[in-house]
Structure 1
Amino acid sequence: MESRLSRLEAVQVMVLEIGQISNHCNNINEFLHAVHQALSRIMYAANFYVALYKAEQNSIQFAYHVDEFDPSPDPAIPVILESPEASPTAWVIYHRQPLIMTAEEDAAQEAAGNSWGSGARAEHWMGYPLLDHEKKSLGALVIQSYDTEHTFSQEDQALFGLIANHVSNALQGFQSVDRLERAVQERTALLAHEVAERRRTETLQRALYQIAELSFSVADPNSLYAELHQIIGQLLVARNFMIALYHQDTEEISIQYFVDEKDEHPSMKRFPLGVGMTSFVIHCEHAQLIDKTRLAELVAGGQIRQALGNMELYSWMGAPILANDHVHGVIVVQSYDPHILYSETDLELLAFVASHVAVAVTRLEADREMRDAKARLEEQNTTLNEALLALQEAQSELVRQEKLASLGRLVAGVAHEINTPLGICVTATSHLVDELKLTRKDMAADTMTQESLEEFLDIVDQSLRILTSNTRRAATLVRSFKQVAVDQTSNDKRLFQLKTYLDEVLLSLQPKLKGRPILVEIDCPEEIRLDSYPGAISQVVTNLLMNSIHHAFENNAEGQIRITAEADGSNLKFDYTDNGIGVDQDGLDKLFDPFYTTKRGQGGSGLGTHIIYNLITGVLGGTVKASSQPGSGLSYQIRFPMVAKNSVKPA
């Protein structure tokens, strides 16, 4: 009961409010907006419109329209009223009776073949006619809901009918349909003015955006000035346009861009400050609007020393290009047409645009300086790149020479090692030949005895044993050296047994270990097989071993080198450790740097560990880390795939 009383009170307040608004409001749109706001306080009114009817034209105008789904029609454009069978709004206006319609009833009309309205289908639609005192139709008041949770009860319908009556009375209070039409026209004119202002603002914003873009997209000043002319021409009549720059160091003005209907070229391309209207703008540091009368006054007063250019002008504007309290130049537009006279509004617009042009000009100058600096840096960078390329080529050549030198040292060592068994074989062969000659001589003289024959056979047996053992030793050395040397020079990928290959590499390095109290141990399972680059592994082991010989064990000190390998999934864990003198942290940080060596001037190239790093990370596709402390030896932790990638090619 209290709810109904509260609602009735709200209705009474609304009725009074409608009456008060209609008494002092002359704008139909404002009146209907107020009605809508008041109606929303007593019922659901999210979708509400008012259609005013013009009987003589059989048309309606949507004086007010708010809808959640359908766009609002232009209130200034009349719409031909459809037949009552085709539109519920037309039905209400023609029949001058209220119409309450649900979504089911709307669907039934459509199923019957009737096109019942053109808007979105509402869950509940309610329209009441607006009638004058003679019961003639003034239009229709419509409210609708697209939500099933918001429908209109019998009480809502009765209240809406009451509101429609009061709106009808208020509309008649506007004196006539002509008054309503004038109100709509005024509203339309206001909207047109707002649209024009909005378009003008959008044009100005677009022009300012284009000016800002110019400093980034245009590098040539002449192109920049031509683009500025085109942009300003969208805002003002600028058939006669000029841009002049002020040179503070020489107190001169130079014309950078000039387009004029009367003169093809300016009378002076460069002139001293104080001459012409441009100088007057620079002195004042703010925009100036000058006509013939004012020009004569400025010349007579000595503020303009000499007028330049064609004197047939009717209107002239100049705005300073001002940035950071410094005048960079002046933008000028002028008119020779008495029908085109610039106003203060035009002057303000030109001054506003000129301030943005100043930003573009200063940015262009800054960009030009940056481009010059960039060009100098690029030239320096090119020189540095050429030097770096030459250095890289030299480094690559040194690395190649180091690898060849390493192979050469291996050849020399193996050759020296092979020389011993071959010398023994030569000696044994010579002795055997001599013994054979003596035996043949005894046989020819028939002095051969059983004892001498047995001695000869013993000598032959002993010589053959010596020849066999030493030739086998030489053959083993040659075979190991051949395989290692071929791997280091061919860089081919193949399948091999790691333990056997490490033994061959170690055998080829025996000449380097000969006479040194260094024990080398290899801990590697026999079953580990790699599909990788044996040449890279040989080079890594060789360089590691030679580094230990030359650096870890000085003065023929005793030492131990241990090589361990084990499978870790698809990777190989390969650790190399010596118990030599080790290196400090500074040396450890530089260990893999090219040309770093602690034996500078003593035959060290500084490329051994650099080659190791490149082979492991590049060819073998793995990683390498080193750890050491002075006096505690040096260790390398190497990890790489047991099956190397086919795309990796050794360097």
Structure 2
Amino acid sequence: MDRLARLEAVQSMLLEIGQLSTTCSDITEFIGAVHRALGRIMYAANFYVALSDQEDGSVRFVYFVDEEDETPDAFERITLAAPEESPTAWVLVNRERLMITADDFEAREREGMKWGQGSAAEHWMGVPLLDQHHQALGAMVIQSYTEGITYSEEDQALFSQIANHISFALQGLQSMDRLERAVQERTAALAVEVNERRRAEQVQHALYQIASLSAQALDTEGLTTSLHRIIGELMVAKNFLIALYHPDTQEISIPYFVDEKDAEVPVKRFPLGQGMCSYVLTSKQAQLHDATSFRHLAANGLVKQQIGNQEVASWMGAPMLVHEQPYGVLVVQSYDPEVIYTKADLDLLAFMASHVAVALARMQADRKIRKTKETLEVQNAALNEALHQLQEAQSELVRQEKLASLGGLVAGVAHEINTPLGICVTATSHLVQELKLTREELAAGQMTEDSLNSFLDIVDQSLRIMTTNTQRAAALVRSFKQVAVDQSSGDVRNFNLCSYVNEVLLSLQPKFKGRKVKVEVDCPKDLVLDSSPGAVSQIVTNMVMNSLLHGFERDHSGTITIRAALEGEQVVFDYADDGVGMDKDTLGKMFDPFFTTKRGTGGSGLGAHILHNLVTGALNGTVKAESEPGQGLQYHLRFPRSLKK
């Protein structure tokens, strides 16, 4: 009966490993939980796991608990030693179990050799963690420093069996980690592209405003004020002036001047050759200067008769040229050491100055108006092409998000199937062993009624365990098979909505492990649709995952309610959770792409966006969301019962 109790403890641990693999997202946290569970079935005061990197030949001790040796850095990559120098390396290289006793350690020390860098143990046991290709993911080690505490052959077999389950779990955790990193990296890249597009749209908008100024017949004051406002939308321009060149008199005038130091322009009109404006206009190149270089120009005689306040922290000037013909200068400057302009700012100012010059030229001649229009059309075409590429990138990211969701489903179901099958294997092995012992008792004539009844009880219990777990595995395979096929296909077919929703929820059971969240489904048993089951599956999956990620804290309990009904030829589908809810501003942005309140912790900002697109696109329906803080979230969907024409 002690062996049966231990078997039950082992079975409970294996089940716990399967559950942990679906609820833990951190490898170190997962292995720590395994260590605590392992301590319930054998001596485990000293335990560590080393994961290997096959590319660079290094190992990381991601989890390490030892009574004698210091704990290494979990993130430090250590070069793998030779197999004859380290028992851990021997297990990794040979991919076999290794047992070392105190006598073995002493024998090697007498030969002038030492097993590894750690303290010599009374009994050391290490097993490899192998993937499906029999490659070493790492090694799991348990040891004893206490005389008399060793590990039996049964302990060794159990430790190897547990290592197999941990190997499967680690593969799933590493796979999910890679998928999450890929989605996060792609989301970050797309965010950069979106920012660049927004910046391009701002520049494009400014160019259109500048081009339209020449057609509005504005006076000089109205024109210059509008130019300041437009440029101020693109950069910090608290101190700004526009200088116009008059070729007939070889003079420069200042029609517009705004400055934090000077209330009025010091000189409204002066000969070409004086001040920074003349220097920029003569060089016909945009200029960027800091306080030192600004003073250096005057000190070396490059700029004559400086005009205005000289205590600048950063200064930019760009000539307004059209085909080398000067029209004037745009100047932006800063007195604040915290506001320093960059080469990118200078390029943008020069770009804007050139378009201002074109706008001024358009006010003088229709020929230059046509030239400006052609330039803008070329730039618009380039921006439209950039927008088209960005839209394609967004579509690809949405596709990857759906694949990531399917990948998570695969990993979760794989672990769920592995657990009942592992339990069946363990129960079968135990039953074979008990049968062997019973036959030996019978052959020796030692069979008693009590021992026979005990054997029959073990047979009955083992068969019930195997029956329950094989039925569970079969149900998971059936539901996953249909849901996985539907999620990867957009085909329209005939299906029962209630049964299908329950299949989707069954495939999502791994996500509910360790959570106090229950799901209630209220749907007519005879509601049959001619629609897209793949879209329905993805919609339900995204709703449930959003509730688990955003609506419920991990330790809080809650309820998800799904109701469906038929009104005429329209399906009314309502989903609700009683989670934390959201405020009005967050609710208004919920269906926007890339909007998430969980950035960096599992949220990509595409779940609700994909849900909206599937309802309005694939199902040809409508969706509304309602929520208030503390009142949960409700979705209201309406879509046709049949999509067949």
**Shared fold per TM-score greater than 0.5:** no
Q: Which has the higher contact order (CA 8 A, sep 6+)?
A: 2
Is the radius of gyration larger for structure 1 or structure 2? 1
State the TM bucket, normalised to the shorter chain.
0.3 to 0.5
